[in-house]
């Protein structure tokens, strides 16, 4: 897959313990990759997609993932739907976030309280980057991979962004000759407590656009932000956005 994961452990002055915690998390990510990567023919998911394994024959863990995907499909009114993709069911849009959650669990279980872990654009932060501070999470600017559109502040949070960063060709109104500003979604970011859900919701919100706020479970702590083709940001009031000069 080639997804790069970054780990940033801030506590543990004992660097060996931090490295050991990260090593455990990395091993878990490899295990998850071996089981759920659709790019690996012998993986459990590939064998299921090829028809060699029925869903009932999948591991308990895989079945729980499928169950979570079904709930998310229902919540998002099928804007997140691993079953509608050609080639067979593909839960990657949930598994990536879930994997980050598993990595975070292991790092936490190893005794770390202040860290961030991320991969493929999704991430999880916990604790403080330094005493008395909150994590400041940048959200990539759609026009420049080295710039930010916004900053989110968090103590413990999962963040996921789904995007297509190429600008579409402007459609011109033949009556005026002026470009019609689109509300096409360029990127969708969702924050919330569960990393797998956040990943699925970001994918779904990207697909659904503004109407996605109808089903996004804000009361459960999930908040969303959209960047549209007309260079506007739309987010629900609970989205933990920091002002640009903060």
Partner 1 sequence: MKRAILALAGTVTGLVGVLSLHPHATTALASSHPGLNLARGAGATTTDSAGAAGSTSGSASADQSSEGQASKGKSSGAPSSAAPSSQAAAPETVRTLTGQPVETGYGPVQVQVTVSGKKLTAVQVLEAPTQSGRDVEISNFALPILHDEALSAQSANIQVVSGATYTSSGYQQSLQSALDQM
Query: Between 161 and 197, whose beta carbon lies closer to partner 1?
Result: 161
**In whole angstroms, what is the distance from residue 221 CA to residue 29 CA?**
26
Query: Between 38 and 58, whose beta carbon lies closer to partner 1?
Result: 38
Query: Between 58 and 112, whose beta carbon lies closer to partner 1?
Result: 112
Q: How far is the CB of 183 from partner 1 (least distance, A)?
A: 11
**In whole angstroms, what is the distance from residue 13 CA to residue 148 CA?**
31
Q: How far is the CB of 95 from partner 1 (least distance, A)?
A: 13
Query: Could you tell me if 112 and 9 are in contact, meaning their C-beta atoms sit under 8 angstroms apart?
Result: yes
CA distances, 109 to each of 64, 95, 103, 113, 151 (Å): 22, 20, 10, 9, 28
Q: How far is the CB of 144 from partner 1 (least distance, A)?
A: 6
Q: How far is the CB of 103 from partner 1 (least distance, A)?
A: 14
Q: How far is the CB of 161 from partner 1 (least distance, A)?
A: 5
**In whole angstroms, what is the distance from residue 89 CA to residue 54 CA?**
12
**In whole angstroms, what is the distance from residue 150 CA to residue 144 CA?**
13
Query: Could you tell me if 59 and 36 are in contact, meaning their C-beta atoms sit under 8 angstroms apart?
Result: no
Query: Between 21 and 227, whose beta carbon lies closer to partner 1?
Result: 227
Which of 7, 125, 1 minimizes the C-alpha distance to 138? 125
Query: Between 58 and 152, whose beta carbon lies closer to partner 1?
Result: 152
**In whole angstroms, what is the distance from residue 144 CA to residue 100 CA?**
25
Question: Which chain residues interact with partner 1 by CB under 8 A?
Answer: 1-4, 6, 8, 77, 96, 116, 118, 120-123, 125, 129, 135-152, 159-165, 187, 189, 210-211, 213-216, 218-219, 227, 231-237, 239, 244
């Amino acid at each position: 897959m080639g997804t790069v994961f970054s780990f940033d452990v801030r506590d543990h002055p004992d660097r060996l313990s931090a490295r050991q915690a990260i090593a455990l998390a990395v091993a878990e990510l490899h295990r998850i990759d071996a089981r759920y990567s659709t790019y690996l023919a012998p993986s459990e998911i590939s064998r299921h997609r090829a028809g060699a394994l029925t869903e009932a024959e999948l591991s308990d863990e895989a079945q729980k993932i499928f169950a979570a995907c079904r709930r998310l499909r229902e919540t998002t009114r099928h804007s997140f739907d691993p079953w509608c993709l050609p080639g067979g069911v593909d839960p990657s849009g949930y598994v990536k976030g879930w994997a980050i959650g598993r990595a975070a669990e292991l790092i936490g279980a190893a005794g770390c309280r202040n860290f961030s872990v991320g991969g493929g654009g999704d991430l999880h932060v916990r604790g403080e980057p330094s005493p008395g501070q909150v994590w400041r999470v940048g959200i990539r600017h759609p026009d420049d991979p080295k710039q930010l559109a916004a900053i989110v502040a968090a103590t413990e949070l999962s963040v996921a962004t789904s995007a297509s960063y190429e600008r579409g060709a402007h459609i011109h109104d033949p009556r005026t000759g002026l470009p019609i500003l689109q509300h096409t979604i360029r990127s969708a970011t969702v924050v919330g407590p569960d990393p797998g859900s956040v990943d699925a919701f970001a994918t779904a919100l990207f697909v659904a656009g503004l109407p996605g706020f109808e089903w996004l479970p804000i009361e459960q702590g999930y908040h969303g932000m959209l960047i549209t083709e007309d260079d506007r940001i739309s987010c629900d009031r609970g989205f933990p956005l920091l002002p640009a000069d903060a």
